[in-house]
């Protein structure tokens, strides 16, 4: 089975316990207004063009004979400024597992492992499960929005040693307004995760005036109770990649205020 990956980050220290290699899977059913990986939203491979630096010389549009360029109607090799690239590489599950296993010594030395992120890795759950089946002795973590069919969620997280799940907005209608979907299934999946015995942490992105309001943080605190929580500071570079995928970033980049950690019973703040 094959899956589509848009990045593999080596030596990460922020995507789970210890030193990690993070695999970013393409495709996400949500459309969070603050998403800082817009190139991960579409499931299919796509062309990225840094339009801000493009001089419109037209070279890349003239047509070429490279097989990999054909689906995109633009040459990725000819731009003198190297502004065009394909985002999304297809892997066989076994090949991706073998690539991850090349880092076994690093994992051992740093008490780490592999983390599957995205996009939303549960969108490619069959592929993820197959890759995991080849990684028996590797610590496996997943970063997920929790937005997936309940059976998919249950069967996939069972393959993992650690789950990092987002709860972004407590209010159902506001969740839909800012992420594109209702949070019902996310909250159901959280209940399963909580009782699963799998170590986990709930992650809350602090988006100015959207998720970092006292009302929302209190609402999330009520949902998660004593569960461990990581509050993620707003990434002020979140909008940087939008132009290269032909999208517009709609939020301002105002710095968020420090949240009141005492709202939660068991929270840490990550910068």
Query: Does 57 contact ligand SF4 by CB under 6 A?
Result: yes
In the complex, minimum distance from the CB of residue 171 to ligand SF4, in angstroms, rounded to a whole number: 17
Q: Which long-range contacts (CB under 8 A, 24 or more apart) does 159-162 make?
A: 159/128, 159/129, 159/132, 159/133, 160/132, 160/198, 161/113, 161/198, 161/199, 162/16, 162/17, 162/198, 162/199, 162/200, 162/201
Segment 129 to 148, residues that bind ligand SF4, using CB under 6 A: 145
Binding of ligand SF4 by 66 (CB under 6 A): no
Q: Calculate ∠ Cα 53-58-59, nearest 5°.
A: 100
- Cis amide linkage into residue 62, ω under 30° from 0: no
Q: How many residues comprise the chain? A: 271
Binding mask 102-131 for ligand SF4 (x = CB under 6 A): ----------------xxx-----------
Q: Indicate the Cα dihedral angle 247, 4, 187, 224, nearest 10°.
A: -90
Q: Cβ closer to ligand SF4: 78 or 263?
A: 78
Query: Interface with ligand SF4 includes 31 (CB under 6 A)?
Result: yes
- With CB under 6 A as the contact rule, the residue among 55, 104, 191, 236 that binds ligand SF4 is 55
Candidates 5, 47, 76, 79; binder of ligand SF4 (CB under 6 A) is 79
Task: Give the residue, chosen from 40, 88, 146, 259, that forms a contact with ligand SF4 under the rule CB under 6 A.
Answer: 40
The CA distance from 131 to 164, in Å, is 19
Question: What's the distance, Cα to Cα, between the start and end of the chain in Å?
Answer: 37
Which residue in the set 59, 64, 101, 251 belongs to the binding site for ligand SF4 (CB under 6 A)?
Answer: 59
28 binds ligand SF4 (CB under 6 A): yes
Residues of the shown chain interacting with ligand SF4 in the complex, contacts defined by CB under 6 A = 28, 30-32, 35, 37, 40, 49, 54-60, 78-79, 81, 83-84, 118-120, 145
């Amino acid at each position: 089975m094959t899956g589509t990956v848009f990045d593999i980050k080596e030596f990460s220290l922020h995507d789970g316990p210890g030193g990690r290699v993070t695999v970013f899977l393409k495709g996400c059913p949500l459309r969070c207004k603050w998403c800082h990986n817009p190139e991960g939203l579409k499931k299919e491979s796509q062309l990225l063009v840094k339009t801000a630096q493009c001089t419109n010389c037209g070279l890349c549009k003239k047509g070429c004979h490279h097989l990999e360029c054909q689906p995109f109607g633009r040459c990725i090799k000819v731009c003198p400024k190297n502004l065009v690239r394909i985002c999304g590489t297809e892997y066989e599950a076994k090949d991706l597992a073998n690539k991850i296993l090349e880092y076994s010594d690093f994992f051992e030395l740093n008490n780490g492992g592999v983390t599957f992120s995205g996009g939303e890795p549960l969108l490619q759950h069959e592929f993820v499960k197959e890759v995991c089946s080849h990684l028996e002795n590797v610590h496996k973590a997943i970063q997920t929005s929790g937005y997936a069919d309940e059976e998919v969620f249950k069967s996939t997280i069972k393959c993992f040693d650690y789950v990092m799940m987002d709860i972004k907005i407590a209010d159902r209608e506001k969740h839909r307004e800012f992420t594109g979907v209702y949070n019902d299934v996310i909250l159901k999946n959280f209940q399963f995760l909580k009782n699963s015995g799998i170590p986990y942490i709930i992650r809350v992105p602090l988006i100015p005036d959207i998720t970092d309001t006292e009302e929302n943080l209190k609402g999330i605190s009520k949902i998660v109770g004593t569960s461990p929580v990581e509050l993620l500071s707003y990434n002020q570079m979140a909008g940087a990649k939008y132009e290269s995928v032909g999208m517009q970033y709609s939020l301002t980049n105002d710095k968020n205020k420090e949240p009141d950690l005492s709202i939660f019973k068991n929270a840490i703040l990550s910068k």
